[in-house]
Structure 1
Amino acid sequence: MAKAKKKGPASGRNDRTNAAERAEDKPATLKDLLRPEMLEKLKAASDEMKSAEATRREEERKRAEEARLAEQKRLENDFGHLLENSKLDWRKHK
């Protein structure tokens, strides 16, 4: 036969009061102290700054990619570079 779990000193009603007491014991956060409209303004500003940072990163990535492609194209037209970096095993091309 299965044993029934013993309940500790805290019953269902005490759990709710303990949770309420724990919430009251916590210090007030900035979110609790600010007005809701001010909090919304701060969130909107945060979202705007995040999107601006994302677009800046994307533009920087595109610039770096374009610079890399331009350098690669320049090196492909440089005979000295091609001669230095070519494989000298001509048997593969017979």
Structure 2
Amino acid sequence: MAKKKYAPATAAKTADKPATLKDLLGEGTIAKLKEQAAQLKQEEEQRREEARVKAEEERKAERKRLDNDFEHLLNTSKLDWHKFK
């Protein structure tokens, strides 16, 4: 007797797979979601850059304030005057 080929069984395996979200959504919707994700990433990067710039400006302002404070300069200066003789 000849062996039977079960080609319909392999087709049934692919038909039994659950539908993915990509399959359920249209191409236009997927493109919009990808575009929105890229836009959100760009906005987050911009916020991080602004926060970094703001922190750097604050450090510069604090440094300038401390450089004008005589007490701070006196406390942080080295009092070893022998090497300047």
TM > 0.5: yes
Separation in structure 2 between the aligned mates of residue 93 and residue 66 of structure 1, nearest angstrom? 35
Deviation at 1:88, TM superposition (A): 1.3
Cα 1:89–1:27 shift into 2, 3 Å: farther
Aligned counterpart for 2:68 among listed residues 61, 67, 77: 77
Separation in structure 2 between the aligned mates of residue 85 and residue 67 of structure 1, nearest angstrom? 21
For structure 1, list consecutive stretches of 5 or more residues without a partner in the other structure.
1-17
Over aligned residues, Cα RMSD in angstroms? 2.3
Identity %: 57
Separation in structure 2 between the aligned mates of residue 51 and residue 65 of structure 1, nearest angstrom? 21
Superposition misfits of 4+ residues, deviation over 2 angstroms: 23-29, 91-94
Q: When the two structures are superposed, what TM-score results if normalisation uses the length of structure 2?
A: 0.75
One-letter code aligned to 1:37: G
For structure 2, list consecutive stretches of 5 or more residues without a partner in the other structure.
1-9
